[in-house]
A and B are shown apart, each in its own frame.
Chain A
Amino acid sequence: MIAVVDVCSGNLRSVEKALAHVGGAPVVTQDPDVIRRADKVVVPGQGAFGAFTAGLAERGLEGALREALAAGKPFLGICLGLQVLFDDSEEQGPVAGLGLVPGHVVKFRPAAHEDHLKVPHIGWNPVRRVGHAGDPMLAGLPDEAHVYFVHSYYVVPSDPSVTVLDCEHGVRFCAAVRKDNLFACQFHPEKSQHVGLRLLANFVERA
């Protein structure tokens, strides 16, 4: 069973349906005990960073997520579910994150001569593999795969070696990280058509 953690934000149905589509058994939950019983954990997220961390705290989910990671359960963070793993975000803050991956979350700030670069960064952008070429989550994905992003903030890991995919929007930014059993991406695999479904299938089948 895959726990899809419901933290008060937006479109969980798409994540649930996409996981089921590739053969997973997702359960959308706000219950820490369901997370404890789950074989794998997915944390999707949209909206504001502060509201998200507050939602985690209100539901008493933080402890269960830390336990799942410490127990070595395959863990997938999506969008805010990536950002919240870091030390802090400058969105309406700084606001503290979970501190599971050292680093910060910062806003896209196009320079004056880059006014063609829009924020939010919305749309399809190709991602580049950085090291970790054999990561099981990336099996079967084309090089320079186009994936769907929708965000204004991006993560800056303190240890660059956690970055497995990067992308360009004025700056080269981290699009996905790997740390032990944790994989998290800034883009939305559940909205990235066949490329995203391949990645989710990898999570269901291999992780």
Chain B
Amino acid sequence: MLTRRIIPCLDVKDGRVVKGTNFIALRDAGDPVEQARAYDAQGADEVCFLDISASPEGRSTLIDVVARTADCVFAPLTVGGGVREVDDAQRLLEAGADKISINTAAIRNPRLVADAAARFGNQAIVVAVDARRRRDASGTWEVFSHGGRTPEGLDALAWCRQVAELGAGEILLTSMDRDGTRSGYDLELVRAVVDAVSVPVIASGGVGQLSDLADGLTIGGADAVLAASIFHYGHHTIGEAKTFLAARGIPVRPPGA
């Protein structure tokens, strides 16, 4: 049976990890490669780099980070941030990424999703969707772009269906309401998107404790859970998360298996 994935995510800016971690025994806690190695050693099912560099120069360092990671980490690597054209995706894949995450550029040009999927296969294309609950009684969510700053007027469920049809092999779904709050995933949002599409959904935004991961996988029905601070700051290891989930009957890849 397919196991549920636990994916630590690292925000990278100008080639450096933005929020340093409290891992001990790292020579350089700001180096994304070192961080990725540490997560790999803990048994992470996948590692995600999200580049938030503002400048082209900053972004070009990402290629080097990905290449150096692929030299020593033999686990799946998803990379997002600043992918605007098919050629951007190609450079990251050639450097050693397995999956490319596209966000704002997919909204500006939905053809990009189809073109990238046709070229690299839909399994290599993740569309990242940042959604915020509408402040009305509609019970719906709106898509935001540019790191959650710009409202796009798109309905999140309709957009997820559209990108899945265009060729996205996976959806990385972040609740802008919950991101950074440590109050748990927006489980209604996760469940709504899981029910709306047939491709895997990665839940993101809001994890504060291990039970939030379990809720995302069971109540939310997500195929994978992404988290940052709960792992970065050493509150919990990947192994502890897996032990916790396994004890609740959730299928996970046992550490060391």
* A interface list, Cβ under 8 A from B: 9-14, 17-18, 21, 46-48, 51, 115-126, 142, 144-146, 148-152, 168-169, 188, 190-197
Contacts and interface: CB of A to CB of B under 8 A. Distances in A.
User: What 9 pairs across the A-B complex have the smallest Cβ distances?
Assistant: A47-B121, A124-B253, A146-B253, A13-B96, A118-B200, A150-B123, A120-B123, A125-B2, A124-B3
Given A13-B96, A47-B119, A151-B123, 14 more contacts: A11-B97, A12-B94, A13-B70, A17-B74, A17-B96, A46-B120, A46-B121, A123-B5, A123-B200, A123-B224, A146-B254, A150-B76, A150-B169, A192-B75
Contact of B1 (A51, A120, A125, A145): A125
Q: Which of B95, B99, B120: most chain A CB closer than 10 A?
A: B120
Nearest to A20: B71
A118 B257 contact: no
A121 B96 contact: no
Interface string B21-58: 00000000000000000001001010000000000000
Contacts of B40: 193
A21 B74 contact: yes
Interface residues of B, number: 41
Contacts of B199: 118-120
A9 B253 CA distance: 28
Contacts of B192: none
Interface string B195-226: 00011100000000000000000000101100
A152 B257 contact: no
Interface of B: 1-5, 40, 43, 45, 67, 70-72, 74-76, 93-99, 118-124, 169-170, 198-200, 221, 223-224, 253-254, 256-257
B120 A191 contact: no
B159 to A, nearest CB: 18
Contact of A120 (B67, B119, B169): B169
Contacts of A21: 72, 74
Contact of B93 (A10, A151, A168, A196): A10
Given A9-B120, A14-B98, A118-B198, A124 B2 contact: yes
18 contacts: A10-B120, A11-B98, A13-B70, A14-B70, A14-B74, A17-B71, A17-B72, A17-B74, A47-B120, A48-B121, A118-B199, A124-B45, A150-B76, A150-B98, A150-B123, A191-B75, A191-B98, A194-B256
A142 B119 CA distance: 36
B219 to A, nearest CB: 14
A48 B122 CA distance: 9
Q: Which of B40, B76, B121: most chain A CB closer than 10 A?
A: B121
A195 B123 CA distance: 22
B188 to A, nearest CB: 18
B96 A120 contact: no
Given A11-B97, A120-B123, A125 B74 contact: no
A148 B3 CA distance: 10
Given A124-B3, A142-B257, A191 B169 contact: no
A193 B43 CA distance: 9
A13 B70 CA distance: 7
Contacts of A13: 67, 70, 94-96
A145 B223 contact: no
Nearest to B3: A124
Q: Which of B2, B74, B221, B223: most chain A CB closer than 10 A?
A: B74
Contacts of B76: 148, 150, 188, 191
Contact of B5 (A119, A120, A124, A195): A124
Contact of A122 (B1, B170, B198, B256): B170
Contacts of B72: 17, 21
A10 B121 contact: yes
A146 B71 CA distance: 22
Contacts of B98: 10-11, 14, 150, 191
B119 to A, nearest CB: 7
A164 B193 CA distance: 37
